[in-house]
Amino acid sequence: MAKTEDGQAQKINELLSQIHDGNYLALARGITWVENDLPGYHQLLMQLRDTVTAKVVGITGPPGAGKSTLVNALLHHWIGQGKKIAVIAVDPSSPFNYGALLGDRIRMVDFYNHPNVFIRSLATRGALGGLHPKIIEITDLVKNAGFDYVLVETVGVGQSEVEIAGLADCTIVALVPEAGDEVQTLKAGIMEIANIFVVNKADREAADTLYRNLRILVHEKADNGDEIPVIKTIATEMNGVANLATAIEQYFATHNNALDKRLHLLTEKCWQLLVQERMKDINRRQLAQQIAGAMQQPGFNLYAFAQSLNG
């Protein structure tokens, strides 16, 4: 038993060493461990040492906003400056097998084998909030591979997509001109998470109207004169992308990591980890069988049943 544990520890140490050295195959293998709960993934996570330094940029927004195209354009810009970038693209899941339906890597074909770019598509696997249930762990693992930026692109499911605000150091909300009439509805949700707004596909009709409405909105929300930047882009033509990259870099230069935001994220994640640990002996299939039997009894009450399991 001890030899097995020693062998596992050595395997994990070797994998982490390769990840720190920038070995993409090792990083991909580590992500697979974490994503699929393979034996040893807990030990792997507990040895991560650099989960704060790398800058995480979240890109969110409604479907059709051109998020993947924006990511591709930012890659072209930053790679041209010699930066090293990781992209985590979260795709919608098939409701039948939880596999990814889209595969955003198709849009980033220029960088598929680029030595300074690592791209990984993940499926949401039914998770709410447009992210993967293990997105925090996977992002922390990727941070250990020495990237300048980690870009996290979410599915884009609407105002419930606020988890990205806790994960990312800088959150970009991409919108398209057709969203102009919906700007007022953004106040309660998206306005709270955006650090930068992007009006993408700015060559379309009504782009100027959306831009003006957003500028008015951010002016009303400005805190001590600190307005959220609103950037026009045509990502397919690289128009405005340099301005967006500059806005991101300026945000990092003037804003330290928001400790309250990070504290909230880590508290929620720690809560989930504690629940998982305490629930590890609960088998869902057996639980269903127990409930099926209990339902046949007169006066079945779910809350009393659950309390009996806790007792």
How would you write the pLDDT of the chain (311 residues) with one tens digit per residue? Answer: 556 667 788 999 999 999 999 999 999 999 999 998 888 888 999 898 866 678 999 998 887 888 989 999 999 999 999 999 999 988 654 333 344 444 444 556 678 789 999 999 887 554 444 466 788 889 999 999 999 999 998 876 444 455 676 778 898 999 988 765 556 556 556 667 789 999 999 999 889 988 998 898 888 877 777 889 999 999 999 999 999 999 999 999 888 656 666 777 678 778 877 887 788 788 888 999 999 999 999 989 988 999 888 76
Provide the pLDDT for residue 102.
46
Provide the pLDDT for residue 79.
96
Provide the pLDDT for residue 185.
56
Superfamily of domain 50-264: P-loop containing nucleotide triphosphate hydrolases (3.40.50.300)
Provide the pLDDT for residue 75.
96
Question: Would you kindly state where each structural domain of the chain is located, as residue ranges?
Answer: 1-47, 50-264, 281-311
Provide the pLDDT for residue 159.
40
C-alpha triplet 28, 106, 199: angle, nearest 5°:
110
Kindly report the pTM of this predicted structure. 0.81
Beta strands of the chain (E only): which ranges? 55-60, 85-91, 117-123, 149-153, 170-175, 196-199, 230-232
Cα-only R_g, the chain? 22
Residue that is written with structure tokens 């250990």 in the block: 144
119 sits in the region (left: phi over 0; alpha: psi -120 to 50; else beta) called beta
Contact between 244 and 231 under an 8 Å Cβ cutoff? The reply is yes
Tokens standing for residue 113: 């084998």
Provide the pLDDT for residue 222.
78
Provide the pLDDT for residue 134.
84
